[in-house]
Amino acid sequence: MNYNLTQMTDWELDKAIFLIQTARQLGINLQSYGEVSVNQNSGYTYLWSEDYPFTLFMPINCELKRDDVFVIWTAEDGEEIEESLFHFEDLEAIEDWVYKLNNQETN
C-alpha cells in the first residue's frame, strides 16, 4: 500500500488514518498494492486497494466517524455509485453490494 502522506494537510492526514483504521476493522488487506491519498479533483481522502472492487473515501467536510466513510464502486462505463459505510455491517456486506451492482451492469 502506498501512503502518500507527505502532501496532506493535518486534516487530510487525520482522515487517512481513520480510513486505515476503518479498513483494518473491516478486515481489508492493507498489505496489497493500493493507495491512501487525496483526490486532487474532489479533495476527498481515499483508500484504494487492487484486491477490492471498491474504494473507501471521506469527503472534505466530515467528522471522524463511520457514518462519514463512503464506499464507491465504478462501473465499466465510468458511472460511480456510492453508499455510506453506515449501511454495511462488514466487508462481506460490501462485497455482496458490489456483486449485485456488477450483476446489474451485465444484465
* Position 96 pLDDT exceeds 90: yes
Between 40 and 107, residue with greater pLDDT:
40
Other C-beta atoms closer than 10 Å to the C-beta of 68 total 17
Count how many domains the chain has.
1
In which domain, by residue range, is 30 found?
Answer: 2-106
Write the pLDDT tens digit of every residue in 24-77.
999 999 998 999 999 999 999 999 999 999 999 999 999 999 999 999 999 989
Q: Please state whether the predicted TM-score (pTM) of the whole model is above 0.85.
A: yes
